[in-house]
Structure 1
Amino acid sequence: RSWAAGGRWAFIAVKPGQFPPGIDELTYLRAVAPLEDVAPEAARTAYEAALKRWPKAWIAMMGLGNLAYARKDYPRAAIHFAEAARANPSDGDPMNNLAQALLAAGDWKAAQGAIEVALRLGQPHPEAYRSTAAEIAKARAAALDPTQAP
């Protein structure tokens, strides 16, 4: 009866990389994502375990890309985002993130190609893609005309 007031719910805490009984891919990855900011190594371990269990888990690939980007390891981030784009080619977010990683790595030309794909796909965050495209255009202008540099 003591559980009734709380709606009779409970949770299981497991180590990163372990799976609670009956967990599905999306539920697991939604639980892992908040770890990126507070426990990045735990998130990395959990994403890698997810990819072993669900090899096409593009959200895990995106998470690994986010972690690499946060470490300023832009080439590694680009690899993960490109993998996510191949795993889920109808979603523009991986290509947008790939464009951002390539731009951060200093390759505005490759970033331009990636963002064009995201813009063509157009979903689910078209405004973010337009914003990334504008950043790339500024970098291109600065590269072609150094007087345009911020």
Structure 2
Amino acid sequence: MSAGRFCPQGARIAGLLLLAAALLSGCAGLPQVDAVRAARDRDQLPRRVELADVPFFPQQEHHCGPAALATVLVASGTAITPEALAEQVYLPGREGSLQVEMLAAARRNGHIAWQLAPSLVDVLREVAAGNPVIVLLNVGLRPMPFWHYAVVIGYDLDKGEVLLRSGDQRRKRVPFAPFDFFWRDSKYWAMLAMPPPRLPATANEAGYGTAVVAVERLGYAAEARQAYEAMLARWPESYLALMGLGNSLHASGRLAAAADAFRRASLAKPTDAAAFNNLAQTLADLGQWREALEPARQAVALGGPLLETSQSTLSAIEREVARLPANKVRKSSKKGEKKARNP
């Protein structure tokens, strides 16, 4: 982000809205607005949505970041205040909050931080799915930007406007064209802070898996498991989600469930040694040494960057199997033999 100040008050924003509307009144061919109109004409979005129950926190000076983040976190059921979040995201030297701090603060509060594609259609899709969206706007006069975080909580396709929780205004109506004008300087930056059991409407498997890992690394193991399970509800054969779930379950001591996840992962991606190695190790941890042999051998056969680890796993399992007592051969009775011949 370029240098500039953050979070002007409502009167300044209102005046700049009028200026932007005047500047854009004769303009045509705004790609973001055109894309929304095309989606409207194809009936790809509900005509009107408003998330009226989303809370409102009037912005204190320079604290639009904490206010916007508190809005979406409280909307998802997390009890937190803008004042508490200010300690996590507000940078006094910048008199505001950088995007990286907003994403990190969402994770520090056990939510999955999802950065949207630079698309107004995607923002409206999320709102239609019930997810308020934080956007970063430049409401300053160029070349000196004046950055402002707001929350999109609704839209009206027929009127061509978005609804915002913004500054000291609970329900700000902004036409699509001025909104595009203010939004573009942030490269159309937008984010969600998702509760782990839910997925964004616009999530993709690889990107969301990476976002879940970021939360898991902060120690939110239970939240990560919920997020992996949510991913599997949408993508049942997701290798990323199955491996993540298996590792999370193993770490929490739920070994049988972890083995099941790794087994499913090995079926989802049979060319990857990691799933077979993890399955073998988990079965070994369960004391199922003979059952662990085949996936351990498969991991070694596949080779790759984990070959040394796979070889170590196989060697350890083979040593334990060698210590096991030989299988006892039970002698069949004549009656049993007769039944075997004549089922």
Question: TM-score interval w.r.t. the shorter chain?
Answer: 0.7 to 0.9
User: Could you tell me how far apart the structure 1 residues matched to 2:211 and 2:319 are?
Assistant: 37
| Percent identity (aligned) | 37
Task: Classify the secondary structure of the residue corresponding to 1:90.
Answer: coil
C-alpha deviations, 1:42-63, integer Å up to 9, x for none?
Answer: 1111001111111221111111
C-alpha separation in 2, matches of 1:128 and 1:30: 24
The equivalent residue for 1:79 is: 260
Q: Deviations over 1:94-122 (max 9, x none)?
A: 00000000000001111111111111111
Letter of the aligned partner of 2:250 in structure 1? Y
For 1:73 and 1:94, the matched residues in 2 are separated by 17
My pick for the range that moved more, 11-20 or 84-93, is 11-20
Q: Is it true that 1:107 corresponds to 2:107 in the alignment?
A: no
Residue 22, structure 1, aligned to residue 20, structure 2 = no
1:28 is displaced (CA, Å) by: 0.6
RMSD, aligned α-carbons:
2.3
State the partner residue of 2:320: 139
| Structure 2 unmatched ranges of 5 or more | 4-97, 100-185, 326-343
**Higher strand proportion (structure 1 or 2):** 2
Q: What does residue 48 of structure 1 align with?
A: 229
> For 1:69 and 1:143, how far apart are their aligned partners in 2?
25
State TM-score, norm by structure 1: 0.83
Q: Distance in 2 between matches of 1:105 and 1:131?
A: 18
User: How far is the alpha carbon of 1:123 from its aligned partner?
Assistant: 2.6
Give 1:21 deviation, angstroms.
Answer: 5.5
Provide the C-alpha distance between the structure 2 equivalents of 1:34 and 1:21, rounded to a whole number of angstroms. Answer: 20
Question: Are 1:127 and 2:308 an aligned pair?
Answer: yes
The alignment status of 1:63 with 2:213, answered yes or no, reads no
Contact kept, 8 Å, 1:48 with 1:60, in 2: the verdict is yes
Structure 2 CA distance for aligned equivalents of residues 64 and 21 of structure 1: 21
How far is 1:91 from its partner?
Answer: 0.6
| Cα distance in structure 2, aligned partners of 1:11 and 1:125 | 35
Shift of 1:134: 2.1
**In 1: Cα distance, 2:239 partner to 2:298 partner:** 17
Flag structure 1 segments of 5+ consecutive residues without an equivalent: 145-150
Tell which structure's C-alpha radius of gyration is larger: 2
Q: Distance in 2 between matches of 1:143 and 1:84?
A: 29
Contact 1:36 1:63 in 2 (8 A): no
- How far the C-alpha of 1:75 sits from its partner, in A, is 1.4
Judged with a 3 Å threshold, the aligned counterparts in structure 2 of structure 1 residues 124 and 26 are, in CA distance, closer, same or farther, namely farther
Q: Secondary structure at the match of 1:12?
A: strand
Question: Comparing both chains, which one has the higher relative contact order based on Cα–Cα distances under 8 Å and sequence gaps of 6 or more?
Answer: 2
Q: Distance in 1 between matches of 2:239 and 2:213?
A: 13
- TM-score, normalised with respect to structure 2: 0.38
Q: CA-to-partner distance for each residue in 1:17-66, whole Å, 9 max, x for gaps?
A: 33346332111101112433511111111001111111221111111111
